[in-house]
Structure 1
């Protein structure tokens, strides 16, 4: 009979639980290896002949079990590859009660960006979801919380950071032994170590908690902004939760090569450098906002995730959705002028897009093993989850929602919880049937399309599940919390409706003719709206009365209706034509995003040139009026509008005038003239100039990449290398993927850039098919990067491409990206169908504009 551990879905028995780990690691960065010794205090709820620990690629040495006067060594130590465990077998039953388990082991650094690995000159760990087992033989499931008392031996001269503050340092020849303060109880995935030639800002206290931000020495001047964000948002988070920060210190560290954006390790938050380090004098506002959002997201996790932790990975969304929503809420409180909720809406768009596929998944879905847990880090878990929490907060009210969160934190402090625990706390605080609302949205995949039509003061609402594939239907329904905003003879009003049924009629309050009606006020609902012809015409004629978020939703929903075959692309383009005088940068970005898809995927040749000319006629006058040179008194809103217009006219429309303006400015910027380009224009201008650039410019960018200290600037130059359209340069860029120029963390982005190149993508796609194993190997096996490589294939365009992708992923499946494979194939099939269906209609529409 097979042992249970032979099943890859094996879960640890709860009869043996860790209470405390006391471990010493000796790291040898030169040999890329480590040794370890630990004593684990355990509690046995029943006698057993086995103790099962997780371990990958670890060579377990001597093991001793002690309980009172009993001392036993295992008769067998059996690694099991399927479940990533090591089974310690004993000849006699181990007694119930408290005991200790002493373990010695050794292991290698990981080649990829997980476990313990070398990121340039820095040794870093990344354990979520289930990679603590690559460094410690441990109980590597989130429900097995324990205290961690760690010591680390490293070569002298390196900074050593752990979850707790350093309590002792001892010199031992060429070695330095650092002992950290014992932690609060933590799940193993939240333990972390960082070792390297790092420098930190001076410690600054927030309510007695020291906060420091760390980087490589040459990037120390870029740490101030991330430090200031932490100092600003930590008190706001403590106030929201009504609980002090629990983990003795906050260290934030920029890691030179890092898979995710950041990781919320308790007290030691690790970041991809571009998500933490910047110079506010030269960083675009989008980069500043992104850093603030990521820092706040990770600090929110210190409560939601670290203090109260999910029992198992099916409730990962409890961590990520909450931190996503909370980050925008807190940064919006700190910097209201940044209009963070518009950025939230842009992020949510990716979840709406994904959730319209048949291959989507619920926010809370079955996760059978650690590998499947890795696939849960997607837009559904983060963005849809955050949007649903925002919707529930809007339904319950801010104060009852916060009281429910505080109650949840108090009830489950230092412990684990499941989604029902959250619903119960929110329901108790708000005295509302939260579970009905939450269960439908969290347990059911997809979302509704709400159809709205106005007749006098009566609104007819109906709902059905929205699929982006034409003709697909299913019978689900949701309790849809809606806010209707409209204007009649008595002014602009709002009315709340909970649409429980498939159809309902609502009488609007007020008097006089209804001039317009928006059925998703403020765009806070996670649904799309299909307006009848007259209601849509009323909105189109009164765009200025709508909030920016509502104008964005109007465009996004109409585009979704085109994709699903419910609306014509000509009607969408007619609507887009009404946005020529749009002044809001976020709305302009939505407009440009929709038009860029049409230009890139639905037209070719002469039609492509016609569309570009039409875009330049639509938005060029606004750019000409505004000009490229910022004034000293200019607001951020004006700077961002200019940047959006440059992306539209220079990037999408490929205006020769815009290119002529950008070229000398980029040349001056490359010589060090800071005022040559306003920071918000940097990305669009560099990409535009690179696209038309020559070998000399290619060499300039290539030479700047390795030595550039600012991570956003370095990435800008790196990605520019994928944009050159001169054929010989596209080949050179493709070669770079297999060189040290492209760090592991940047592989997926670089592949996407090569696939987006208009003159090089066919050759690159042919090369990808031939060298698929080499491309996959460049990710180092990092699950997030593997998924993004697969998703990048969705950028291909034709039916022949679709068939080739099917063959490639069938013959060479990426096991870590099964979900992404299904979604990419479905999305690409829809894109191909859309091209075949709408291409002729776009062509006819463009002829009418001449």
Structure 2
């Protein structure tokens, strides 16, 4: 186990801290007031819940469940009906009983499927007061991860197919499980009980308070009452599970719950959770308020999410929770840690303090992403995890620079808009904005503000301005001003360095603020003004902070030398240097810090690809990366070479790029060797995987030959590829697969002993360059043989290589494909499939498809159409400039 942070180094230190936790205000026992008019709602605001008592009886075989719900609520105005959320639920009976006793009021129900609501009508008026709403109902268990759903998987001990149940309620799907006030501001406490087979484990947010043996081989499991929380955080799971536990340093029991037979594959995650939880206790200044925190491994996958932060009962798909030496890649080992850190951070940012409405969902996701990177870098400094922030920034800007972008704080009013809110703007731009603000105000002030925010708003709901008020209350300046701009103004700021002049030992910078856009047609006209926190370094001097609040400014700094504006790479903006300044940075590139090297390369490649400068500017920096760069930086750089290779069409130019990549990176791979070495650093294993992937894509003969050899060995040894590079070698082999290779991969999928391994083989089928094999993969996906989540992965894999083929197949077989994808996620699924397309004809196809959808559902497709238009417009120039750069490089 990795040593705990210094704050929690000893048990005696824990004891000393135990009295230091702030006393949180106890959540109200009953609803005190109707929902404020400032908070959006689908419901009429006539009532508010305080407590749910739910009993569920699932039938995993028939995929149905029976439910009983008792909802304690307060009615505020006289009404003839009560309206709650319900989706796909059939109500058998309902009655309303006054809390003080008396005659019950029978209710009749009317369902509004479009609004996803249930209206309970009373023959006599319902007077203001406290009541209990009793409902008997039933529902269906789905096969996609929303509501209460089932996952089928091979038993790890016997190989026989088995089934487990899980819930996924974010954003609007608790209403599939129980009639409820299914909005984040309607917080309440929950008592959940479940009648389940006696030989299975039932799991929820709280520990089981008691179990009762029932007839027919069943038992009733009743869980302890939850804290006051939003409905989307409720969790229920049932299956043949095992649990491994550990006491964290703060006394909370942490556990990993996994399919039986998982054994020590859960240990890495369990030990990580035990060190993550108390670190967040200390950082946020509020101890985790539940008696246990479980993370439940769900076999299978989703196209749209990897884990969910249910309070006290995180759910994570197995691939990024259980460490299997036979299949888990080095990148996935890091993902296990950082994903768990993300979901644990949510236990405070999202669960304890929740956004008032989905407009501010970034308060959950942006902060959890930022906190996850922070704690991962703390416990694993050897991973150089700060580079991950640069990748996040770039991912956000790729969407934020399109005309179809939206602000971080966005207007959300429909269920479809809720589902689509979980994108790179919410996560990565939110994270980048937070990192920039923390760096600007200072880590100590930032943490003091967060602690104040947590204490004040515990068990409540907030909007973004509540956070800025807390940060400024801790002593920060200009936070509200900067944050408002970066969270409410869509788009990417761009700083133009017009000139850098050195005179008498001082450098004078002429700076102009602009906006970066991937759409040339939108680059004219008025631009927003962002207060931009700059951190500028000149030569070897310490960086200087400057808040740029005007469109054009001149900044004078001490010292002379190359000028780096976004020193540390925490500013959310692009920097377009004048040619002399960029030349100086390129010439002295090797002396920069790794974070600045990587950030500068990524920034300039993006500027080049968008047409703000020649591709040579970005490629010169990429080529300047030192050969002895750290393993993490080298891996990230190799991935960028792979990306530039992917810009080119098959032909002589791409062949020259492939040869250059082989010359650049094959020596580093030879030094590492094809096989992992005992005791080597995880970053070296990850670098090896990336080099194999990059060289394999570029057609390096040695790598492609080795991948074919390893694949063919599977015919006689099913474990021939086992190890941390299994996914990597499969991808390379699958890309170059023959018909015989494809058949072998399919056979291995049928023999796989676990769902992760099976999906690994099935998804690799779709990566074949051969179109005939890609077509067979698509046909197999809808044949009924793979499970739904595996099948949708196969189609997406084909889309990554043959986007036009995959799109046409989906449209031609829409009914069959739609059975594999949850309804709310279908537009995003289509957008993902065409993300690599450069076919001009695809734009018309997407436009036609978008016209078949309601406007709020069509947004992802419209975004994909816009991104495609940009790729089609810029790719010819990119290719021509890369060809010229390669020709010039060859003459050097």
Give me the TM-score of the superposition, normalised by structure 2: 0.88
* Range moving further from structure 2, 346-355 or 655-664: 655-664
2:579 counterpart residue number:
533
Q: Does 1:769 align with 2:811?
A: yes
CA–CA separation in structure 2 for the residues paired with 1:580 and 1:817: 46
Report the alpha carbon displacement of residue 220 of structure 1 after superposing the two structures with TM: 3.2
Distance verdict in 2 for CA 1:282–1:770, change over 3 Å: closer
CA–CA separation in structure 2 for the residues paired with 1:532 and 1:671: 60
Q: Secondary structure at the match of 1:508?
A: strand
1:480 counterpart residue number:
532
* Range moving further from structure 2, 244-253 or 684-693: 684-693
Give me the TM-score of the superposition, normalised by structure 1: 0.92
CA–CA separation in structure 1 for the residues paired with 2:470 and 2:413: 27
Q: Does 1:197 align with 2:222?
A: no
The Cα offsets for residues 797-843 of structure 1, whole Å up to 9 and x where unpaired, read as 12123333333333x43767422112111110000011233333333
CA–CA separation in structure 1 for the residues paired with 2:628 and 2:845: 41
Q: Does 1:182 align with 2:229?
A: no
The Cα offsets for residues 99-125 of structure 1, whole Å up to 9 and x where unpaired, read as 211111112223432111111101111
CA–CA separation in structure 2 for the residues paired with 1:354 and 1:325: 19
CA–CA separation in structure 2 for the residues paired with 1:747 and 1:500: 51
1:498 counterpart residue number:
547
8 A Cα contact 2:416 2:857, kept in partner? no
Q: 5 Å matches for 1:98-117?
A: 98-117=130-149
CA–CA separation in structure 2 for the residues paired with 1:346 and 1:183: 37
1:4 counterpart residue number:
none
8 A Cα contact 2:563 2:585, kept in partner? yes
Distance verdict in 2 for CA 1:431–1:610, change over 3 Å: closer
The Cα offsets for residues 120-156 of structure 1, whole Å up to 9 and x where unpaired, read as 1011111110111111111111111111111111222
Distance verdict in 2 for CA 1:788–1:584, change over 3 Å: farther
1:220 counterpart residue number:
263
8 A Cα contact 1:257 1:744, kept in partner? no
2:90 counterpart residue number:
59
Distance verdict in 2 for CA 1:563–1:469, change over 3 Å: farther
Structure 2 unaligned residues grouped into runs of 5+: 1-39, 153-162
Runs of 4+ in 1 over 6 A off after TM superposition: 669-678
Report the alpha carbon displacement of residue 739 of structure 1 after superposing the two structures with TM: 3.8
8 A Cα contact 2:249 2:275, kept in partner? no
1:756 counterpart residue number:
800
Distance verdict in 2 for CA 1:348–1:709, change over 3 Å: farther
CA–CA separation in structure 2 for the residues paired with 1:422 and 1:376: 20
8 A Cα contact 2:846 2:861, kept in partner? no
The Cα offsets for residues 389-448 of structure 1, whole Å up to 9 and x where unpaired, read as 111111111111111111111111111111111111111012423211111111111121
CA–CA separation in structure 1 for the residues paired with 2:846 and 2:597: 36
CA–CA separation in structure 1 for the residues paired with 2:836 and 2:474: 46
Equivalent of 1:833, from 847, 851, 873?
873
1:553 counterpart residue number:
599
Report the alpha carbon displacement of residue 654 of structure 1 after superposing the two structures with TM: 0.6
Report the alpha carbon displacement of residue 579 of structure 1 after superposing the two structures with TM: 3.5
Q: Secondary structure at the match of 1:451?
A: strand
8 A Cα contact 2:669 2:688, kept in partner? yes
CA–CA separation in structure 2 for the residues paired with 1:632 and 1:79: 62
Report the alpha carbon displacement of residue 582 of structure 1 after superposing the two structures with TM: 5.5
CA–CA separation in structure 2 for the residues paired with 1:677 and 1:219: 17
CA–CA separation in structure 2 for the residues paired with 1:586 and 1:814: 44
Equivalent of 1:628, from 655, 660, 674?
674
Equivalent of 2:123, from 78, 91, 94?
91
2:518 counterpart residue number:
468
Q: Does 1:424 align with 2:452?
A: no
Equivalent of 2:777, from 711, 733, 739?
733
Equivalent of 1:347, from 389, 392, 397?
392
Equivalent of 1:813, from 850, 853, 858?
853
1:5 counterpart residue number:
none
1:324 counterpart residue number:
369
Equivalent of 1:685, from 729, 733, 746?
729
Aligned positions, number:
830
Q: Secondary structure at the match of 2:132?
A: strand
1:144 counterpart residue number:
186
The Cα offsets for residues 44-87 of structure 1, whole Å up to 9 and x where unpaired, read as 22322221111111111222212234434345321112321111
8 A Cα contact 2:164 2:239, kept in partner? yes
Q: Does 1:616 align with 2:662?
A: yes
8 A Cα contact 2:319 2:328, kept in partner? no
Report the alpha carbon displacement of residue 316 of structure 1 after superposing the two structures with TM: 0.8
8 A Cα contact 1:114 1:127, kept in partner? yes
8 A Cα contact 2:597 2:625, kept in partner? no
2:483 counterpart residue number:
438
8 A Cα contact 1:113 1:257, kept in partner? no
CA–CA separation in structure 2 for the residues paired with 1:40 and 1:633: 56
Q: Secondary structure at the match of 2:689?
A: helix
The Cα offsets for residues 436-488 of structure 1, whole Å up to 9 and x where unpaired, read as 1111111111121111231111122221111111242341011111111231x
